[in-house]
Structure 1
Amino acid sequence: MLTFEEKEAIIQEFPELTRKEVSMKRVNYHYEDSLYEKTTVVYHLHPNGNGFVYVGDLSQYDAKEKGLVNIREASADELRQMIKDSIAYLATEEEELFDEEVEEEWKNKENSKLTLLQEDTLWNIYHGYNLEESFGSYEEAKSYLLEEGFRKVGTR
């Protein structure tokens, strides 16, 4: 596990982040040029090495409900990549994140398959050819699938 000092050294490799002290000796790092209200990239980095990186709904991460990934056990390379991805996420218009049609396959423990498909402005979930649910955003559809016990298995 990286120490607090090692994590801070890695975070400080990103000059676009601003350090802000918060309670109980914790620090946050903000990306002030964010296109969204959300500016926090590193959240509550604590001297014990615990902390979080905001990754929103990026599919390569298993983020908790607020889009945060715990970095307690992250390697130096993993931490750098998470921060790069977070900054890119906050610097990209939502529409640009999905320039091309998205089609993802999701499975649960019983091996049932659902397909998440972006169609126009909607995110539709299909069971075979039947429409199961429809959502206004990827994040809403992803949350529904995760709550129902499904995990993404691939992107087409």
Structure 2
Amino acid sequence: MLTFEEKLAVITTFPELQKKDVSMGRVNFHYEASIVDKKIVVYHLHPNGNGFVYAEQIPHTATDDKGFVNIREFTADELRSIIQASIQSLSNPAIPLMVSSPAFPELSQETILSSESWEDGEGQTLTLVEEDELWNVYTGSNLEMAFETYTEAKKYLKDEGFWRS
């Protein structure tokens, strides 16, 4: 089990999350750019190492009645993976989620998708998603472009002034 400090070290690698102190030494991490009503990604991370991550929209993930999964026994990779999927679910629920971690062994290879966020200097974000042997570029939930290879998609994004975030 990771310690509180080790979990904080993983969570703080996500610059899009804002730390909010709550009672009894616990902390929450909010995703203010969420396009849905939910903004809390990490809930009640406690100094004893217990805590929760919002995972209601993540396929094949058992959650409590509020949509959270307990992260007490997660490894660093599992924690990183579920936080990334949680942020993606709050960023664009229309795009299938990427969950590629040993924490989710029940997912079939067909369910696991590759996804990347790309930003430009004006704060615009595009999402590059591998779907059905194509690389699709999304603006929000709208398909902007589709490419046969990752290299073509990456070149397009760079030519348009975007970089991988």
Map of 1:55 onto structure 2: 55
**CA distance 1:81–1:96, shift in 2 (3 Å):** closer
In structure 2, runs of 5+ residues without a counterpart are: 98-165
Distance 1:46 1:67 in 2: 18
CA contact (8 A) 1:50 1:70 kept: yes
Q: C-alpha displacement at 1:96, in angstroms?
A: 4.2
Residue 34 (str. 1) matches residue 62 (str. 2)? no
**CA distance 1:84–1:45, shift in 2 (3 Å):** same
Q: C-alpha displacement at 1:97, in angstroms?
A: 4.6
**CA distance 1:7–1:92, shift in 2 (3 Å):** same
Distance 1:25 1:86 in 2: 23
Task: Name the aligned partner's letter for residue 87 of structure 1.
Answer: I
CA contact (8 A) 1:57 1:63 kept: no
Q: C-alpha displacement at 1:50, in angstroms?
A: 0.3
Q: Secondary structure at the match of 1:24?
A: helix
Map of 1:70 onto structure 2: 70
- Kindly provide the CA deviation profile for residues 109-152 of structure 1, in whole angstroms up to 9, marking residues without a partner as x: xxxxxxxxxxxxxxxxxxxxxxxxxxxxxxxxxxxxxxxxxxxx
Q: Secondary structure at the match of 2:42?
A: strand
Distance 1:52 1:19 in 2: 14
Map of 1:83 onto structure 2: 83
- Normalising by structure 2, we get a TM-score of 0.56
Q: Secondary structure at the match of 1:7?
A: helix
CA contact (8 A) 2:27 2:44 kept: yes
- Normalising by structure 1, we get a TM-score of 0.59
- Kindly provide the CA deviation profile for residues 6-43 of structure 1, in whole angstroms up to 9, marking residues without a partner as x: 00000000000000000111000000000011100000
CA contact (8 A) 2:57 2:89 kept: no
In structure 1, runs of 5+ residues without a counterpart are: 99-156
Q: Secondary structure at the match of 2:85?
A: helix
**Identity, % of aligned positions:** 57
RMSD of aligned residue pairs (Cα, Å): 1.4
Counting matched residue pairs gives 97
After the TM superposition, which parts of structure 1 deviate over 3 Å for at least 4 consecutive aligned residues? 95-98
CA contact (8 A) 1:55 1:63 kept: yes
Distance 2:2 2:96 in 1: 31
Q: C-alpha displacement at 1:74, in angstroms?
A: 0.4
Task: Name the aligned partner's letter for residue 59 of structure 2.
Answer: S
